[in-house]
Amino acid sequence: MTRARTWTVAVLAASSLGLAACSSSSSSSTTTTAPTAATSPASTVPIGTIADPSAAGTIGTEPTITVPPGAPPTQLESKDLIVGTGPAAKAGDTVTVQYVGVAYSSGKVFDSSWSRNQPFEFKLGEGQVITGWDQGVVGMQVGGRRELIIPPGLAYGAQSPGSGIAANDTLIFIVDLVKIN
């Protein structure tokens, strides 16, 4: 009788673990949401996951961006390459980041805070940066590195802001969240 009870407990435990694994299969790594700047804070916009992200590299050193194959995405895509251990950034926070940006169309770097040896500070969700950053940096943890692929509608649209970014260009950034001020 004791042996039968032991097997029953073992089978129930294994079944519970299997069900727990199935119930968590739809994790937030495939789609996350972030508040939009143009709507109320309760509104959210889906953010897709980058299928073929750049190499993570080492936090605190300038990463290399690899443009994924195929056509650029039509919605904001995000992937944590390194998950930070500090607090998460939220709209209204003043954040300090290091970043590198590459044009999807050319694969060439158009801007890098690392090359200037000067981290960049901005208030998240206040329109001080392109919309793709206001949405894509939300939820990052201090000490983390995130890759963002930003379609033209959340970047500069039909207006080229200058050298290295064409009109209607999709932009790829890798951003390190240095601190929340």
Positions marked active-site: 99, 110-111, 130, 156, 173
Neighbouring residues of 90: CB distance < 8 A, sequence distance ≥ 6: 124, 125, 138, 139
CB burial of 2-40 (b: ≥16 within 10 Å; e: otherwise) equals eeeeeeeeeeeeeeeeeeeeeeeeeeeeeebebbbbeee
Q: How many CA atoms lie within 13 A of 162 on its CB side?
A: 3
